Chain A
Amino acid sequence: MNPEDRYYSTEHEWVLANEDKTLYIGITEYAQEELGDLVFVEMPTVGTVVESMGKLGEVESVKSVSDIYCPISGKVIEINQEAVQSPEIINEDPYGKGWLVRLDPSNPEDLNQLMSASEYETFLESLGH
């Protein structure tokens, strides 16, 4: 289900820490399922500094627009161009090829404020799913 090697936010983003302390950020399986077929992704430019729970970008399905929030503050150091070019890969592989940005966090310890996979699943159940 939701991989245990990463952290989760209440806004349905995931965060995966690399050995070099940078973070990959994407949206969860639940989020992609709720959004439906994604057709457009808008991401910030590399170098943008984003606050914790600040707006990172937008994803669009055919009939909805949703903001993507940054679960942790930091500087954007890479954008997944493949996901921007072909948003369907976010639907197909949200935890792998469908990652959105790589971030250099300002306070890596903030990761602990996010949920674990099992906590996130409990959270999803509380939403009635």
Chain B
Amino acid sequence: MAISNSSPYIPNTSDEKIAMLKTIGVNAADELFKDIPAGFGNDLSSLPSGLSEIELYREMQILSERNMNQSQLASFLGGGAYRHFIPSVVRHVTGIGELATAYTPYQPEVSQGTLQITYEFQSLVSQLMEMDVSNAGMYDGATSTAEAALMACRIKGRNSICVLDTVSPTQLEVIRTYTEPQGLTVYTTDHKDPRIGQDTACLIIQHPNFYGYLEQMEDLKAITQQNDVLMIVSTDPIFLGMFKSPGTLGADIAVAEGQPLGISLSYGGPYVGLFTCKTEFLRQMPGRIVGKTVDTTGKEGYVLTLQTREQHIRREKATSNICTSEALICTAIVAYLACIGKNGLKHIAESTYHKAHYTASLISEIPGYSLPTNELFFREFVVECPVNPKTIKATLLNKGILAGIDVSDRFNNGLMISVTEMNTKEEIERLAKELSKIKP
């Protein structure tokens, strides 16, 4: 009887291997590795033995339960990733093997599923943003913004990037990581009184901004025009279910973190960056793009197009080095938007708005708590607290509440609270009640 294989993922039996080695003309598999110089091998010293599926599941379940998950807590955490509703349809679609285990659609005849879904993704994202064209997605929202900054510098032939001081610190840091090594300069400016310096290619605006508030977009548009710089808007897709889009507000390039559109939080990824621009800038856009065409019989079909922008053709002169991106997350977003639909997205955006404003109104009535500004917000806002927000967060965590994000670097004892349609009235009132118990 043959000795059983060690892994269910490797089919060759030892008999088959012996037969294949004979065909190859070597006595042992080691001969095929002879080019690896002696003394440079690896002993895999700290690698444990393999696990069966039963053992693996048990171990991983224990690990997973060592995390406190959002459904066990009342969560008011935002800051760039949000807990919105995910219809079960989305998980079903991303689980379809023919979508999940396909390669990048370089061979269009055997990839029409992925390609048509990507074309739908580009269409839906363009519609949502009310921008001319969309690519097939970037890694995440922050890298989208950074790539937009690089694109603006190429278009304008200039070397400085102006960022409003209300853009998320994470996005700002990623912009710096991506651009400064190329000799580009990044500087920030007051969002209420922006000053555009010399040699500047673009103004980067987050709308709603990191703290949740809407920017004065008409004024900012006028400033970008006066200074002949591109207007880059980093926005939020759920916000667009209710509020004016970047396209309507005059953006040249509009980007967003796509996660709120049906993507699980998953400790920060995988997410996807949405990336759109005006048609005139299409050839400077990074990332993959799908286009509709016809086949030799005249039947409609889809292909990857405008590929000469990309690294596999233009190499060091490409618009970006991006290759593998987040296609299956784009698929999830198409499934989400198809399922949620026109009325659903509006409903979710409005529920989020009403719940966030209800939460703010409850907290503002608690003695010692105040709202630092009357600027318009959507789902996230800042509360100035009677004590250090660290204390509040720790106290409320003991009560099963994730209270929000500490923004005391900008606001006096500032706590940033995020509310979505997933937060129930009971959770909101419990948050207010627990906050009211905290005395200075």
A interface with B by C-beta (< 8 Å) = 40, 60-65
Contacts and interface: CB of A to CB of B under 8 A. Distances in A.
Contact of A40 (B308, B313, B314, B317): B308
Given A63-B308, A64-B308, 13 more contacts: A40-B283, A40-B308, A60-B308, A61-B308, A62-B307, A62-B308, A63-B307, A63-B313, A64-B313, A65-B308, A65-B313, A65-B314, A65-B317
Interface string B272-284: 0000000000010
Contacts of A61: 308
Contacts of B308: 40, 60-65
Contacts of B307: 62-63
Interface of B: 283, 307-308, 313-314, 317
A122 to B, nearest CB: 32
Nearest to B315: A65
Nearest to B307: A63
A67 B22 CA distance: 50
Main secondary structure of the interface of B (DSSP, over half): helix
A81 B314 CA distance: 25
Contacts of A60: 308
A40 to B, nearest CB: 7
A42 to B, nearest CB: 9
Contacts of A40: 283, 308
A61 B313 CA distance: 11
A7 B204 CA distance: 51
Nearest to A66: B308
Most chain A CB neighbours (cut-off 10 Å) among B308, B314, B317: B308
A71 B283 CA distance: 27
A4 B308 CA distance: 34
A112 B232 CA distance: 52
A40 B305 CA distance: 12
Contacts of B314: 65
8 contacts: A40-B283, A61-B308, A62-B307, A62-B308, A63-B308, A65-B308, A65-B314, A65-B317
Contacts of B317: 65
Nearest to A64: B313
A67 to B, nearest CB: 10
Contacts of B313: 63-65
Contacts of A63: 307-308, 313
A93 to B, nearest CB: 23
A64 B283 CA distance: 15
A42 B314 CA distance: 15
A60 B310 CA distance: 12
A81 to B, nearest CB: 17
Contacts of B283: 40
Which 3 residue pairs spanning A and B have beta carbons closest together?
A60-B308, A65-B308, A65-B314
A14 B58 CA distance: 72
A62 to B, nearest CB: 7
Contacts of A64: 308, 313
A62 B317 CA distance: 16
Contacts of A65: 308, 313-314, 317
Nearest to B303: A62
A92 B180 CA distance: 46
A61 B308 CA distance: 8
A38 B36 CA distance: 45
A63 B314 CA distance: 9
Contacts of A62: 307-308
A64 B312 CA distance: 10
Nearest to A42: B283
